[in-house]
Structures are given as C-alpha cells and as structure tokens.
Structure 1
Amino acid sequence: MPVKPMPLSPERIDAIATLAARLFAGGGTLDAVVRAVREANPDLKTVTGAMAAVMAEEPFREEAAFDLHLVDGNNHCWAITDKPALATGVVIAQREEED
C-alpha cells in the first residue's frame, strides 16, 4: 500500500534542509544526501539531486552547500513550485565549491 504524502510544512522543510546540510558538512556526496532524505521521507513522490548550475528556477531555500527546490508532482509532469502546500517532493541542488 502506498504511503500517503504529508504536506511540506515549514518544520518539515527545516528538517529536510537540516539533514542535507549536516550530511554535506560531513563530506557526504550528493547521491548519499539524496538517498538519506528519501529514506527519511518515504512518502515524498520525488526526491532527487542536481547541480545548482543546471537549475534555471529560483530555489525555495538557499543553504551553504546546496539550494532546495520544491517539486509539485500532482500532475502528469512535475514542476518546481514555491508553494509548500502543493509540494510533493524536493530537488537538492548542490553548489560547486568555491575555489
């Protein structure tokens, strides 16, 4: 039986961002961070990673090592949204390290 999605409340977005930030700070790879966020949030339809440089949309939230984008997957194709009430997932967009 599929797990019913929970809304992305401000507290839940904070928890996702905190987990990702902690893992990146500890040297985690983008794949490892995405996997951990997905495991901690099995009800989300979409949890994926990208490099920030390829994201054309403004992030919902900016963190030190990554940008957090919200995904609306309620229709056939998913889209980036700035409305947490519509969000069914996230994109974790890792930033390139400054030289």
Structure 2
Amino acid sequence: MPIATEQLEAIDATLATAAADQAAVSALRQVAPGLTAMRCDKADIQDETPFRTYENCDLFLIDARDHCVKITADPTVATGLVVAPKR
C-alpha cells in the first residue's frame, strides 16, 4: 500500500520539531496506520540518504516487500518508516 500524500503531510507535521524518540514513533504509528514505524541510531543508517530531513531527525522509508529490508526513496513501495536522530 503506497504512502498517500495526506499521510506524508501528517508525517511531516508530526516530525517537524519532534525528537527521534519513542513518542515520535508512537505518533507515526497513529498518523500512518498499516506502516511499520521504528527508531534507529544515526550510526546504523549513516550511509543512507534520508527521504526527508527535519529539525531534529531524519526520516527514511523502508521496503520490506521482499525477504530483505532495504531503504527506499519511493513512497509508492514503502512499507515502513524509520526515524533517526540527526546527532
């Protein structure tokens, strides 16, 4: 199920000033039901390009349709969200 434009707007509003913490992950689960949402340390994802960047965190999209999970820049194939602190 692709991420709808309305969901992306809600995600942007949620993460605009949020910290990359459990509260942000919980909020993402509320605004994007059906998508996996998780937090990751920046060091674990440092070689990837964020889908979106905000004041305190970066957003990455994941594609878990196949057996391997991978980062994607395509919201039409994304199955989940990863939020990582900027620092």
TM-score, shorter chain, exceeding 0.5 = yes
Gaps of 5+ in 2: none
Higher helix share: 1
- Does the 8 Å CA contact 1:53/1:95 hold for their aligned counterparts? no
What is the rounded CA distance, in whole Å, between the counterparts of 1:10 and 1:67 in structure 2?
A: 18
Matched ranges for 1:46-65 at <5 A: 46-55=36-45, 56-65=47-56
- Percent identity, please: 36
CA RMSD in angstroms, aligned pairs only:
1.8
Partner of 1:37: 28
Structure 1 segments of 4+ aligned residues over 6 angstroms from their partners: none
Gaps of 5+ in 1: none
Partner of 2:58: 67
- TM-aligned CA deviation for residue 70 of structure 1: 0.7
- Does the 8 Å CA contact 2:40/2:84 hold for their aligned counterparts? yes
- Does the 8 Å CA contact 2:51/2:61 hold for their aligned counterparts? yes
TM-score normalised to structure 2 length? 0.82
- Does the 8 Å CA contact 1:72/1:80 hold for their aligned counterparts? yes
Larger RCO of the pair (alpha carbons < 8 Å, separation 6+) = 2
Going from structure 1 to structure 2, the CA distance change for 1:12 and 1:39 (only over 3 Å counts) comes to closer
TM-score normalised to structure 1 length? 0.73
Secondary structure of the structure 1 residue equivalent to 2:49:
coil
